Amino acid sequence: MRSQTIAAAIGIGCALWLTGCAAPYAEPPAGANTATVDFVRPLTSTNATILAFDDPKYCGNPRTALKPADATRPIRVLAGVPTALGASFIRTSGTLIYRCGVSATFVPQAGKQYKMTASYPTNAHVCRAGVVESDDGRSWHAINARYRTYRINPSWGTGSCPGLTDADVAFMRDKTRSEDGSTTLSDLSDLLTPQ
């Protein structure tokens, strides 16, 4: 997913908000059905604030899971429900502050492991994110996820994503796709209404 970078001269208050002044992320309680998400930060990228959103439909109410200077560590998220994670990047050049935000929304499965990669290379004007899944922590494959631009309104100190539709949620819950992402007619037989 690519998100266009917006260059703007903005106040230091917004810069502080973007780097982790949002409320901290609280993991689900012990005993809840959860999955683990680890974050990968490429060395050639600007570090990001990693966010978890209380409202996955519009990326509302962000919670800071990792600040740019934090060591990367896995977090636990609720399984079986749409989960929106995001990366908010800031880069300065003179008096300008460049920012880029991207989110990945998916439905984690209990007991599975996930990796989210988010990058904003120092010579690029776009940021990207990707999510992969594993049963054993060794073999990873792509999953059905929705990638959206996370836009921040510096005047209000809030951000949002384009809304998820019911079709988006159905796509993310669809487990009929093969490893390469294609769907065959035989895969769809269990989705047909009985005659």
Judged against a pLDDT cut of 60, whether residue 154 lies above it is answered with yes
**DSSP bridge partners of 98:** 7, 91
DSSP 64-82: EEE-TTSPP--EEEESSS-
* Cα(131)–Cα(147) distance, integer angstroms: 9
pTM greater than 0.85? no
Mean pLDDT across the chain, nearest whole number? 78
Q: Is 163 exposed, middle or buried, given 0-12, 13-18 or 19+ CB atoms closer than 10 A? A: exposed
Structure confidence at residue 175 as a pLDDT band (50, 70, 90): low
The amino acid occupying position 63 is R
pLDDT per position as a tens digit, 3-58: 443 333 333 334 334 444 578 999 999 999 999 999 988 776 777 899 999 999 99
Q: Where are the domains of the chain?
A: 3-25+33-177
Q: What one-character DSSP code corresponds to residue 21?
A: I
Task: Give the DSSP H or E segment for 131.
Answer: strand 126-134
Are 4 and 126 spatial neighbours (Cβ–Cβ below 8 Å)? yes
Question: CA–CA distance from 125 to each of 1, 44, 47, 66 (Å)?
Answer: 13, 14, 15, 23
Task: Give the DSSP H or E segment for 53.
Answer: strand 48-55
Average pLDDT over residues 149-176: 78
The pLDDT > 70 percentage for the chain reads 76
The whole-number pLDDT of residue 157 equals 64
Comparing 77 with 125, which gets the higher pLDDT? 77
157: left (phi over 0), alpha (psi -120 to 50) or beta: left
Question: CA–CA distance from 93 to each of 6, 98, 116, 154 (Å)?
Answer: 13, 8, 27, 18
* Sequence-distant (≥ 6) Cβ neighbours of residue 24 within 8 angstroms: 63, 64
pLDDT per position as a tens digit, 93-130: 889 888 889 999 999 999 999 999 998 887 788 888 99
